[in-house]
């Protein structure tokens, strides 16, 4: 029988959540237009909407808040954060931003132009938006297996080198400003990329002088999977693995709200002197001074401490295994999920869960709404609604993966909360045939999943 590591922390402060009745939850989801993003936080018992900025900070991080230097320029907390990023990730230059999408915006503004193409290992919503808003076209070059929820591979986030080479041959290397390499791959289910694959992608890109920029938002989770799954890394520390991972990249965007263990913050890192100089100019326009980038000094201090804490093996082992615990319980009950379970959440296979609904009836959006009604657990749709529309044809993107993401905040919930979540999903699965689909009644023109509203078909 598999065992799971105990929580590597002691609880010092608690938050008392509301526990609504089923009738109250029905009214709440109707008022939210069947969109879990529109629910009030106070109406959610277990909130698995996202792991972004929902972390519980440590006593050392809270202590760090008290030494915040809120100077407009030259904050000592920025110098601490900058030195920490360089030490743990190995990049030459660092530009602070308020969160990851701020870094995506600056990078895309600098490098993406009309007629260019950005290959990546599966799209992410805000990343693709910034690329397309600056005229580029995203091309998916992840391995085919990543689009099949039933296939179990240790490194399902890998880039397909043949797909990448085919794009280079098709459009020319000069039209590829950079390769976007996510570690891990969020929409594939939190799937990691192997060190071997990173090394091979670097070798191919070097032949054509194509830069590689990592989305390193959940890089510590990726490093853990390399340590536990890839030959030759069992005796390496998480820090050592991170440094090797990023030796194969030319830069990175980072949302500190995940593996930085904070509630706000991010950065753009680069080894390119010219990109750094221009990014420092743009950060003033979009984010703030190059020594705070939209963050308070106290937040930068907590961020620096969080980067260090996240590399502790006992922390990341529990973090990943707590997610696996939920996935294992669901799989044992026959609930269809994306395999293997990734680092930050369990993804329900909404197509298989609600086979009586067509994709146009929005099975993932439907499932997220009804999971809330059933259990008070808030989750997130990751399917056709999130994929949006083709900017040229106006047609819906129809991804093969139609999922509901159960994203586990770091150091927030216990195994008992995972039990409650699993029980609610299992009970819903037993009564799935009674669940009707949804349709749009309001559709925003961009990133529609945040503010869209729906009603029962």
Active-site positions? 72, 124-125, 215, 258, 382, 449
Tell me the DSSP string of 72-116: SSS-HHHHHHHHHHHHHH--SEEEEESSHHHHHHHHHHHH--TT-
Q: For the chain, what's the residue count?
A: 457
Structure tokens belonging to residue 27: 């009214």
Q: How many CB atoms lie within 10 A of CB 189?
A: 29
The Cα–Cα gap between 95 and 242 comes to: 19
End-to-end Cα distance, the chain: 44
Please say whether the beta carbons of 326 and 348 come within 8 A: no
The Cα–Cα gap between 426 and 237 comes to: 38
Please say whether the beta carbons of 248 and 214 come within 8 A: no
The Cα–Cα gap between 144 and 157 comes to: 10
Identify which of 234, 228, 444, 188 has the alpha carbon closest to the alpha carbon of residue 319: 228
The Cα–Cα gap between 387 and 128 comes to: 10
The Cα–Cα gap between 422 and 160 comes to: 34
Tell me the DSSP string of 209-266: T--EEEE-TTHHHHHHHHHHHSTT-TTS-HHHHHHHHHHT-SEEEEETTSTT-SSS-E
What single-letter DSSP state applies at residue 49?
Answer: S
Q: Is 22 exposed, middle or buried (0-12, 13-18, 19+ CB in 10 A)?
A: exposed
Identify which of 344, 378, 52 has the alpha carbon closest to the alpha carbon of residue 189: 344
């Amino acid at each position: 029988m598999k065992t799971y590591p105990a929580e590597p922390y002691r609880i010092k402060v608690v938050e008392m959540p509301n526990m609504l009745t089923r009738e109250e939850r029905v009214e709440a989801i109707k008022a939210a237009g069947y969109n879990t993003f529109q629910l009030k936080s106070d109406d959610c018992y277990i909130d698995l909407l996202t792991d972004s900025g929902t972390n519980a900070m440590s006593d050392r991080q809270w202590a760090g808040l008290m030494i915040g230097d809120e100077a407009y320029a030259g904050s000592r907390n920025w110098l601490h954060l900058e030195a920490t990023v360089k030490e743990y990730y190995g990049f030459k230059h660092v530009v602070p931003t308020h969160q990851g999408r701020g870094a995506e915006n600056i990078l895309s503004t600098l490098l993406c132009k009309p007629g260019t193409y950005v290959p990546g290992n599966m799209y992410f919503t805000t990343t693709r938006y910034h690329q397309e808003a600056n005229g580029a076209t995203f091309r998916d070059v992840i391995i085919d297996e990543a689009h099949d929820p039933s296939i179990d591979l240790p490194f399902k986030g890998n880039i397909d080198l043949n797909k990448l080479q085919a794009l280079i041959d098709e459009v020319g290397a000069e039209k590829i400003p950079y390769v976007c390499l996510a570690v891990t791959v969020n929409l594939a289910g939190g799937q990691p990329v192997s060190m071997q694959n990173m090394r091979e992608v670097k070798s191919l890109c070097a032949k054509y002088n194509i830069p590689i920029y990592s989305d390193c938002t959940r890089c510590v989770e990726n490093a853990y999977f390399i340590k536990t799954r890839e030959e030759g890394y069992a005796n390496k520390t998480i820090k050592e693995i991170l440094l090797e991972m990023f030796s194969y990249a030319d830069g990175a965007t980072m949302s500190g709200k995940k593996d930085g263990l904070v509630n706000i913050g991010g950065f753009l890192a680069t080894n390119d002197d010219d990109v750094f100089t221009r990014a420092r100019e743009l950060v003033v326009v979009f984010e703030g001074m190059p020594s705070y980038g939209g963050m308070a000094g106290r937040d930068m201090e907590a961020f620096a401490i969080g980067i260090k804490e996240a590399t502790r093996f006992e922390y990341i082992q529990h973090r990943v295994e707590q997610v696996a615990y939920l996935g294992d319980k669901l799989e044992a009950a026959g609930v269809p999920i994306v395999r293997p379970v990734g680092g930050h959440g369990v993804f329900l296979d909404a197509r298989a869960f609600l086979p009586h609904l067509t994709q146009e009836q929005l099975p993932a959006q439907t499932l997220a709404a009804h999971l809330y009604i059933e259990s008070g657990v808030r989750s997130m749709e990751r399917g056709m609604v999130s994929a949006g529309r083709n900017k040229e044809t106006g047609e819906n993107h129809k991804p093969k993966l139609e999922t509901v993401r159960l994203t586990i905040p770091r150091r927030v919930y216990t195994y008992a909360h995972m039990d409650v979540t699993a029980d609610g999903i299992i009970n819903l699965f037993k009564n799935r045939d009674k669940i009707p689909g949804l349709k749009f009644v309001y559709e925003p023109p961009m990133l529609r999943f945040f503010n869209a509203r729906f009603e029962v078909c």
